[in-house]
Amino acid sequence: MAYPNGARLKFACDMDKSVLVNNFEKRGWVSVGADEDWNFYWATVQSVRNIFSVENGYRLADDQVINHFPNHYELTRKDLMVKNIKRYRKDLDKEGNPLAEKDETGHYIHLDFVPVTFMLPADYNLFVEEFRKNPSSTWIMKPCGKARGIGIFLINRLSQLKKWSRDSKTNTFTAPSSKDTYVISRYIDNPLLIGGKKFDLRLYVLVTSFRPLKCYMYQLGFSRFCSVKYNANVNELDNMFVHLTNVSIQKHGEDYNAIHGGKWTVHNLRVFLEGTRGKEVSDKLFDEINWLTVHSLKAVSATGTKGAIANDRHCFETYGYDIIIDDNMKPWLIEVNASPSLTSTTAADRIMKYKLISDVINIVIPPGEMVDVKWNKVPTKENLGHFDLLYDEELAQSDLLQMPENKSRVGTGAPGANVRGKVDPRKVTGATWK
C-alpha cells in the first residue's frame, strides 16, 4: 500500500509468524527494525512494556500504532482481572446502578460471570471459609503469570492445598512475588457436553479504544474439545487431558487429531445448539457472552479508577477470551489472553488466523489511508470483515440522546435485552450483534 506521496507503510514485527508477515507483505508494507521508524508494530508484550516504560522516555508519533496497551495485564492477568471485575461490581452497587442487582443469596444477577475466585496466598482464609461451605467442590489452581495451561492443577481437599503450600515454601526463600501467586477458582464441574465431550470457547475480541470503549467480536472463534471423554469422577483429577482444553496441552494427548486439532467452529456450535435446543436458547447464550465481554472490558475502562487500562490512542489489542458454558447454558469467563496464539495447528486454523489479522489491520488502519491516531476510529461496514461491532460507547451515547425511550431499558430486564438496548448501534453503523 502506497501513500499518496509515494511513501510506503513501514512495519516492524517481533514474531516470525507467517499469518502476520504474509498479511503485511500482501499490503506492500516495508519491513523495518523495531528500533527504526515504524508505522505499525506487532510486538511482544515485553517490547511494549519497554517502549512505554518511564526510563525509556520513548514517545510515539501520530503515525505509529502498536498492538498492545501498556497495562493490558489489568485484564489479562488472572488475579487482576478478577480483582477489577469485583471492584467494578462494587462501584456499580455503590452508585445504586440496577446492573448491580443481587439475588437473595447475595449473588449479582447480571454480573455474576466469573467463577468464585481467590488469590493465594493472600486470600487463603477467605478461600477456606468458602471451601467449608461446599466441602465436596473441586477447585482449580492456576499460577497468575503463566499461560497455556502451565502449572495448573485441581484440588478437592484442603490437605492437597496445604501440601502444595509446604512444598512451594521449602523451595523459595524470597518473599512471594506476583510469579508465585496463584488464583484458585471454583471449577465448573457441570460443563455443557457435546457428543459427551467437554469443550471451551476461544473468542477473539478487538479493542481499539478503552475511553470511549470501542470493541469488536470476531465471528470465527472456535470451541476446543478434549480428546478424552469428560468424567466428573474424582479419580480422573490427575488426568489433565480431561479437564484442560488448551490445544498446547491436548497436543500431548494420544488421541490428538492433526486434521481438525479438536477445534470446532463457533458457527458449528451455533448450528448445533439451535438445532437441538432452539433459537431462543442459543441466541440468549450468545447475547450473554457478548454481555460478559463488554462488562469485563468496562471493568477496566472506567475513568479515574485504579486498575483502568491506560487509554493510549496508539494502541489496539486483540484478546483471546476463554469461556466455558455450563449445562444450564450459562457462560463463564475463565480468562483473557493478551497474545492469543498465532501458531496454526491445522490448515483451517491458518486460514482463520490469517483472516483475523487481516480484519484487525483493516479496522485499525482503514485500507488506503495513512496511519493517523487522531482518526475517529469508526470503521466502515466493509472494513469490519468478520468482526461485529460489540460496543461503541460514543455511538451508544449519541444513540441514547437521540432516543430517550431507550434509557428506560438500560439496566432493567434480562442481560440480553439490556445489551441490545444499550449497544444497539445498528442504526448508526449498520453493524449488528449477530
Partner 1 sequence: VKKDVVQTLVKTGWERKLRNSIFCKMMSYHPPPHYAASQEHIKEPNSYIRRAQANWEKRILKSLNSMCTELSVPLARKRPEKEQKDMLGRWAELGTDEPDLSQFRPVYAPKDFLEVIASLKNPNVVDCGDNTVSSCAWGIIQAPVYVKDLHQLRLQYSEMAINQCQSGIDDGPELPSEVFEADRAKLARKVLAAKLAPATQEFAKKGIPLSHRAQMWSQILNVEVDDVDILYYEQLKTGVLQHDLLVDSLIYKDVKLTATNDDQYFVFEDYLYQVLLPFSRDTTILQHFNYSSASPAKSYIRGKLGVDEFAVNYPPNGVIPFHGFSMYVCPLCYIYNDIIHLYFVFREMYNRYFFRLHTLSSHPQVSASINSIMGIVSLCLQFERLLQTHEAILFFHLKSIGVQPLRLAFKWLIRAFSGYLSSEQVLLLWDRILAFDSLEILPVLAVAIFTFRKTNLLQVQTFSASEAVLADITTLKVIPLIQLALFSQ
Q: Minimum Å distance from CB 236 to partner 1? A: 12
For the chain, the C-alpha Rg in angstroms (whole number) is 22
By beta-carbon proximity to partner 1, the closer residue of 124 and 272 is: 272
Q: Minimum Å distance from CB 234 to partner 1? A: 17
Q: Minimum Å distance from CB 258 to partner 1? A: 9
Contact residues for partner 1, defined by CB under 8 A: 194-197, 225, 228-229, 255, 257, 259-260, 262-265, 268, 271-272, 274-280, 282, 346, 348, 432, 434
Q: Minimum Å distance from CB 277 to partner 1? A: 8
By beta-carbon proximity to partner 1, the closer residue of 41 and 264 is: 264
Q: Minimum Å distance from CB 260 to partner 1? A: 4
By beta-carbon proximity to partner 1, the closer residue of 175 and 258 is: 258
By beta-carbon proximity to partner 1, the closer residue of 110 and 243 is: 243
By beta-carbon proximity to partner 1, the closer residue of 346 and 383 is: 346
By beta-carbon proximity to partner 1, the closer residue of 52 and 387 is: 387
Q: Minimum Å distance from CB 268 to partner 1? A: 6
